[in-house]
Amino acid sequence: MSRQLIAGNWKMNGTRQNAQGLAQALVARLPADAADVVVCPPFTLLPLLADSLAGTALALGAQDCHKAPSGAYTGDISATMLGEFGVSYVILGHSERRQGHGELDDTVREKAIAATKAGLTPIVCIGETEDQRESGDYTDVLGWQIKGSLPDNFAGVLAYEPIWAIGTGLAATTEQIAQTMLFLREELVRQFGEAGKAIKILYGGSVNADNAAAILGIPEVGGALVGGASLDADAFLSIVSAASAA
């Protein structure tokens, strides 16, 4: 059974001073038998943390990348550039990118291809809105997001984040997560065949120290994409410990 993956998405948070302190606290207290752990800070902190995390068990990730390796794309960062700073994972298609920046499935797919070519592991996010969940259309929505966002021969990680649970403090129930995870696994196998059985699926959406053990113990949950709790060393390490015990 593969190790779980715990990814901390710092979003637009962190200064040089507090980022350094958080990273040092995580490295010093990371359990020896921990799950695979990655932190994804803002672009501005990547050079600093690349030095701090070099040679440690804590991996470095980014929050986005462009589909092109270089070019006239003001304000963008390529996967190739990220790789130069020791970045090994990159979050793509987060709902905050899809909703706030108009990213479509095709865009996410192209970014995933670029990330893989650059040697990074893409963490591709999908998720439904509250209306889609309540209407019962969420399985169709998730199925189409998988089809549109994941390239052929996808070798990355899928992250399921119900949009209605992100940053709201309202996590899906264990029953909802278990049902959706089973559907996602079946859909991955349907679309990718035998390879779909090996794609790791993370859960994200108000994961915290209190609910992590229950969530990470659900079949087909291969880890967590953690938002706010990843900014607190104690809370994040509690989630890592829960993953190690799952």
Domain boundaries, the chain: 5-245
Give the 3-state DSSP-derived string for 73-104, with helices as H, strands as E and coil as C.
Answer: CCCCCEHHHHHCCCCCEEEECCHHHHHHHCCC
The CB density around residue 211, as the number of other CB atoms within 10 Å, is 18
Query: Is the pLDDT reported for residue 124 higher than 90?
Result: yes
Query: Is the pLDDT reported for residue 246 higher than 80?
Result: no
d(CA 38, CA 153): 23
- 200 known ligand binder: no
Query: Is the pLDDT reported for residue 1 higher than 60?
Result: no
Q: pTM score, two decimals?
A: 0.96
Query: Is the pLDDT reported for residue 211 higher than 60?
Result: yes
- 217 known ligand binder: no
Give the rounded percent of residues in the chain with a pLDDT score beyond 90: 91
Q: What is the pLDDT of residue 187?
A: 97
Q: What is the pLDDT of residue 240?
A: 96
- 144 known ligand binder: no
Give catalytic residue positions: 94, 161
Q: What is the mean pLDDT of residues 24-44?
A: 93
Query: Is the pLDDT reported for residue 33 higher than 80?
Result: no
Query: Is the pLDDT reported for residue 32 higher than 90?
Result: no
Give the rounded percent of residues in the chain with a pLDDT score beyond 70: 99
d(CA 157, CA 87): 15
Query: Is the pLDDT reported for residue 2 higher than 90?
Result: no
- 167 known ligand binder: yes
Q: What is the pLDDT of residue 189?
A: 98
Q: What is the pLDDT of residue 164?
A: 87
d(CA 175, CA 204): 15
d(CA 149, CA 105): 5
Third-level CATH fold of 5-245: TIM Barrel (3.20.20)
Query: Is the pLDDT reported for residue 15 higher than 90?
Result: yes
- Average pLDDT of the chain? 95
- 206 known ligand binder: yes
Q: What is the pLDDT of residue 4?
A: 96
Lowest mean pLDDT among 5-9, 115-119, 195-199, 240-244: 240-244
Q: What is the per-residue pLDDT across 127-176, written as a single tens digit (0 to 9) for each? A: 999 899 989 899 999 999 999 999 999 999 999 999 988 877 777 899 99
Query: Is the pLDDT reported for residue 192 higher than 80?
Result: yes
